[in-house]
Amino acid sequence: MGHRDTVEKAVSFVIGLAWRVIVIALLVYALMNGVRAAYSYGHGLMYDHAMALKGAQDQEFVIEDGEKAEDIAEHLVSMGFIDNVDAFKVQSVLYEADYVPGIYTINKSMTMADIIKYLTQEGVKNRELVDKNLVDAEAQTTAAVETDSNGVEIIGGSDDENMIAQDAANAAYESQAAEIAGESVSN
């Protein structure tokens, strides 16, 4: 029986060792997958990239009164400026962002960090203007963009306003020319 006990002990030892190796291999596999997932998540939060190449078209972005970083992030994702709401929230905390309601001009070639910094800096400027009563707070978020029939923004007033201003300038010019012509005839 001594020989049989030795064989049983050897088999028991090999089986125990095999289980230990299997358990250690499973733990190493789980650890590697956990590290890979954590790296991927952290990279997604901190990787700073733009959604478009340089030279993307500027677009207006409105921050409404009472919006939080998550609301702003969801709006930015829906407009295609960023691709990760969680990353925006985390970076907003890291950059100590303070978002002020208003109308901002941003584009898709800006990185998430650029957008956060820009919205914060312009927000500070807007808040200072409102505090000094140089800008109406309501006008900051309710101004409508005027566009022509092709959807192009009209800068400096509507076509009618521009024509009225041009007519007034022409009348002033003609009046001045008539005055000069009258002076030279009388001299």
Is pLDDT above 90 for 26? yes
User: Element (H or E) spanning 60, and its range?
Assistant: strand 59-63
Distances (CA, A) of 150 to 33, 146, 147, 153: 53, 11, 8, 9
What is the rounded distance in angstroms from the CA atom of residue 151 to the CA atom of residue 27? 60
> Of 101, 102, 111, whose CA–CA distance to 46 is shortest?
111
| CATH architecture, domain defined by 59-142 | 2-Layer Sandwich (3.30)
Q: What is the mean pLDDT of residues 70-92?
A: 93
Residues 34-73 have pLDDT tens digits of 999 888 887 777 778 888 888 889 999 999 999 999 999 9
Exposed, middle or buried, 170 (CB in 10 Å: 0-12/13-18/19+)?
Answer: exposed
| 156: DSSP letter | S
Pull the structure tokens for residue 72. 């702003």
What is the rounded distance in angstroms from the CA atom of residue 129 to the CA atom of residue 94? 26
What is the rounded distance in angstroms from the CA atom of residue 54 to the CA atom of residue 63? 24
Q: What is the mean pLDDT of residues 164-183?
A: 69
151, HSE (Cβ side, Cα atoms, 13 Å): 0
Q: Provide the CA 85 distance to its chain's centre, in angstroms.
A: 10
> Of 101, 116, 109, whose CA–CA distance to 80 is shortest?
109
Which pLDDT does position 92 carry in this prediction? 93
The model carries a pTM of 0.55
Assign 25 a pLDDT band (cuts: 50, 70, 90). very high
- The answer to whether residues 119 and 71 touch, using CB atoms and an 8 Å cutoff, is no
What is the rounded distance in angstroms from the CA atom of residue 72 to the CA atom of residue 94? 16
What is the rounded distance in angstroms from the CA atom of residue 118 to the CA atom of residue 129? 16
Residues 6+ apart with CB under 8 A from 118: 104, 106, 110
117, HSE (Cβ side, Cα atoms, 13 Å): 6
Q: What are the residue boundaries of the structural domains of the chain, listed by start?
A: 1-47, 59-142, 145-187
